[in-house]
Amino acid sequence: MFRPRENSVRRSVYARRASIVGGLTALLGTVALTSPTTANAAPPTPPSAAEARTQLSSLTVSAEGSSDGYSRDKFPHWITQSGACNTREVVLKRDGTDVEQDSSCAAVSGSWYSPYDGDTWTVASDLDIDHVVPLAEAWRSGASSWTTAERQALANDLTHSQLIAVTDNVNQAKGDKDPAEWMPPLSSYHCMYARMWVSVKHTYDLTVDSAEKSALSSVLNGCS
C-alpha cells in the first residue's frame, strides 16, 4: 500500500494512518461543536515554511501514477460529522464569519472570505470546499492502493489543512492540478498553500513528481 521503506519506518507510517482513521470521528465531532464564527477563520495551521521544506525533502519523488480506476466515489464524502452536519457544513461554519445554520445544518447566512482569490461571499452556494490535495491527485500519488476507510479519512480530514472554503469557480479552475500546474490567483497566499499541500502529502505519505517538487521548493524557498 505504501512506498517501500525500512520496516520500522513503515510501521510508523501505518500507525500514523491508523491513528488518523481511528480517531477521525471523535476529533471531527469536537470541531463541529466548537467551530469559530470570528473573522479570518481558517483550516488548521500547517507547519512553518522551514518545516515544510524539511517535509518536502523527505517525500518520495516518483512519476505520477495512472488515473485508471479513479472515481470520487472511492473517496466517500461528505460524511456526517455531528447530528445533521456533514463535512461541508462543518467547514462552512469554521471558515465563515457569523454563520447561521438551519435545522438541517445548512448555512443560511454568513460571510466567507476566499483566500485563494481575495473575494468575499455571503451566499454559501458560491463556495466550494476545496481538497487542497485533490482526490484524483491523491489517487495518482499512492491512494489508489489504500482502503476505502483511508481514502474517506483524507476526503473529510478536518484535523489537517486539507479542506478550505473558496470561491467555487476558482476551485473548479484548479481541478485536480498540482502546484506545478496551478497556484491560487492571490500570490500572497502561495506560501500558505505550499505549506498546506506539503503537510497533507507528508501526513498521508503520498509521493510527489519532480515538477511538483520543483514548484513547491521554489515557493517555499521564498517564504520566511
Query: Smallest Cα–Cα separation from 134: which of 187, 174, 166?
Result: 174
Give the pLDDT score at 42. Answer: 83
What tens digit of pLDDT does each residue of 5-46 get? 333 333 344 445 545 544 443 443 333 333 333 344 689 999
One-letter-per-residue 3-state SS of 9-38: HHHHHHHHHHHHHHHHHHHHHHHHHHCCCC
Can you tell me the mean pLDDT for 128-143?
98
Give the pLDDT score at 41. Answer: 66
Q: Tell me which of 25 and 170 has the higher pLDDT.
A: 170
User: Which percentage of the chain shows pLDDT scores above 70?
Assistant: 82
For residue 48, what are the contacts with CB-CB under 8 A and spacing of at least 6? 195
Give the Å distances, CA to CA, from 80 to 84, 206, 224: 7, 26, 38
What tens digit of pLDDT does each residue of 51-69 get? 999 999 999 999 999 999 9
What tens digit of pLDDT does each residue of 76-112 get? 999 999 999 999 999 999 999 999 999 999 999 999 9
Give the pLDDT score at 64. Answer: 96
C-alpha–C-alpha distance, residues 147 and 98, integer Å: 38
CA-CA-CA-CA torsion sign (14, 219, 176, 99):
positive
Can you tell me the mean pLDDT for 153-174?
98
